[in-house]
Amino acid sequence: MRISDKEMLSMTDLPFDKVSPYRVKVVEYTIPTTKEKRMEILKKYGYSGRLLPAEYVHINMVTDSGTAAMSDRQWSAMMLGDESYFEARSYENFEEAVNLFTDMPYILPCHQGRSGEYLVYQALVQQGDKVPSNTHFTTTGAWCYERGAEPVNLLCKDYLDSEDKGWFKGNMDIEAFEAYFIENAEKIPLVELVLPNNLNGGQPVSMANLKAVREIINKYDKRGTKLYLDVARISENAWMIKQHESGYEDKSCLEIVRECMSYADGCHMSSKKAALVNMGGFVALRDKRTWQKMQPKLIRTDGYITYGGLTGRDLEAVAVGLIEGVNDYYLADRQRQVDYFAEACKKRGVHIMEPASCFAVYIDAGKCLPHLSPMEGPATCLSAQAYLEGGFASTAMDSLQRAREDSSDPLNEGKKMTAPYELIRCAIPRRVYQEPHYDWAAECLARAMSHGTKLPAFRKIKEDRPPLEISEIGLRTFFDNFEPVSDLPLGDPVKMVSTRI
């Protein structure tokens, strides 16, 4: 019998903030490489973490999405997956876990976050509407444009102050939101809060901010505006609230998640993050009629309403992982790893965005490579060189790759703005790496940085592709390719360990 949820959540005095609360049963290998081989790979496949063949990436922090190591509890639950088309038993297990997590009565499973978002936008958003957010994730921004509406990002100003060490720099700018809401209330069907704010340094959102957003909607509402939460990593956001917002220190993260949900009308989750699965998602909401409106839309694209594009075993894995991933001592272990990696970077002089978030470390490549201007891609360059140094891959989010479009005029290249920081996101897969991996990843970044002005500028490779639609503009980061204006420095060879067959 596998350990039950109740047993998993039992009180403990074991120091799970110092030692991981699990042990390893299966390990995963990558193909060993040399610096020469890695240079060949970069030249052949392109210089971005997203393009590198994964078997040649020894430490992969390109994303924390779908990359978790599942537990014995999840794998054993998967064996019990009920693959019946309609009303499979696995759906009941899934529904029970999602109800417990969200405290919302109406649920639809989806194959991942973006398919759930599609239902929300189709059901609620129309041409000419506006959807304010602390910062839309790329896909909710895309759905918004697809409906002929405008995604509006109102991120708090603290984020723009690099000296600010506040804990909740992912917040909505409450003053700006209030003013915007008063002026546009008739055009706002939906407000989206992303907890934590992935596209801005992974910074968390406070409970106070969430409550303030709710109060403003209640006060000035003119058309039944809904508040939805993008909860891909809400368990980790809850951990930050527990650590850093007064009044929450004695609450469990599950209680904090449920309190967050209590201020919302609905939520959508990419379960590939905090629910510790490789595939899955859901929408949960309070209003039955909206739920019914979403049902045929789900059937049209993803299958029946009790599986939403997932297999029975996927549903089982989410049901277990969702609760495992909100367990306080699991989250203490996760935060320890993020903090360890952040310290490993700082110790080696690699500049990071502070405070480090709850799921990733964002490297301030602009500070690391001050000789490169934003449009010369300092993050693109440092990230590529770090792979060359030691097989460590990450995601560059600099102005070269992510200059921000004007949301009211997204096709106008002339209105694009540079990113506020030239960041590399090192997103930490869950339960995958150990301290020596983090030390080596930090070492790769430090070695890369030590080449200083020898590191070249990058430029976009011009490619003849059909033009993107407005709703696809933000997705160009998946198509654009970049190259250095001159070769990356090969530097000293790293000591070789030989194997002979």
Binding interface with ligand F0G (CB under 6 A): 63, 65, 112-114, 137, 139, 194, 198, 230, 232, 270, 272, 281
Nearest distance from C-beta of residue 437 to ligand F0G, angstroms: 19
Alpha helices for 26-137 (secondary structure H): 35-45, 72-79, 89-102, 113-124
Task: Report the C-alpha gap between 23 and 205 in whole angstroms.
Answer: 32
Q: Following DSSP, what letter does each residue of 299-364 receive, concatenated?
A: HHHH--TTTTT--HHHHHHHHHHHHHTT-HHHHHHHHHHHHHHHHHHHHTT--B-SS--SSEEEEE
Give the shortest CB-281-to-ligand F0G separation in angstroms.
Answer: 6
**Spatial distance between the Cα atoms of 381 and 453, rounded to a whole number of angstroms:** 11
> Nearest distance from residue 50's CB to ligand F0G, in Å?
10
At its nearest, how many Å lie between ligand F0G and the CB of residue 276?
13
Closest CB 197 distance from ligand F0G, rounded Å = 8
Between 331 and 372, name the residue whose CB sits nearer to ligand F0G: 331
Count CB atoms within 10 A of the CB of residue 93.
20
Token pair of 101, please? 């997590």
Neighbours of 175 (CB within 10 A): 12
Name the strand (E) or helix (H) holding 109. Answer: strand 106-110
Q: What are phi and psi of 340, to 5 degrees?
A: -60, -45
- Smallest distance, ligand F0G to C-beta of residue 268, A: 8
How far apart CA 278 and CA 78 sit, in angstroms, is 12
Q: Looking at beta carbons only, is 375 or 475 nearer to ligand F0G?
A: 475
User: Helices then strands (H, E): number in the chain?
Assistant: 17, 14
Residue closer to ligand F0G, measured from CB, 131 or 194: 194
The alpha carbon of residue 404 and the mean position of all alpha carbons in its chain are separated, in whole angstroms, by 18
d(C-alpha 181, C-alpha 188), whole Å: 8
Could you tell me the smallest distance in angstroms from the CB atom of residue 170 to ligand F0G? 10
Between 41 and 61, CB nearer to ligand F0G? 61
Nearer to ligand F0G, 71 or 198 (CB): 198
CA pair distance 401, 381, nearest whole angstrom: 11
Look at residue 153 and give its three-state secondary structure.
Answer: strand
The minimum distance between CB 317 and ligand F0G, in angstroms, equals 14
Please name the residues in contact with 22: beta carbons below 8 A apart, sequence gap of 6 or more.
71, 431
Nearer CB in complex with ligand F0G: 169/447: 169
- Cα angle value 359/363/365 (rounded, 5°): 155
Place of tokens 């990558």: 30
Nearer to ligand F0G, 33 or 383 (CB): 383
Nearer to ligand F0G, 213 or 449 (CB): 213
List C-alpha distances in Å: 336 to 12, 22, 243, 246, 326: 17, 14, 13, 21, 15
Q: What's the rounded Cα separation, in Å, for the pair 295 and 304? A: 8
Nearer to ligand F0G, 194 or 342 (CB): 194
- The whole-angstrom separation of Cα 446 and Cα 311 is 43
Instruction: Name the residue nearer to ligand F0G (CB basis): 274 or 445.
Output: 274
Dihedral sign of CA atoms 292, 296, 302, 305 in order: positive
Which single residue brings its beta carbon nearest to ligand F0G?
A: 113
Total Cβ atoms within 10 A of residue 100: 16
Please state the closest distance from residue 447 (CB atom) to ligand F0G, in A. 25
- CB-hemisphere CA count at 13 Å for 315? 29
Nearest to ligand F0G of 42, 194 (CB atom): 194
Beta carbon of residue 65, minimum distance to ligand F0G (angstroms, whole number): 4
Contact by Cβ (8 Å): 112, 281 = yes
User: How far apart (Å, rounded) are the C-alpha atoms in residues 75 and 78?
Assistant: 5
What's the closest the beta carbon of residue 150 comes to ligand F0G, in angstroms? 19
CB of 290 to ligand F0G, least distance (A): 19
| Cβ proximity to ligand F0G, 116 vs 410, nearer residue | 116
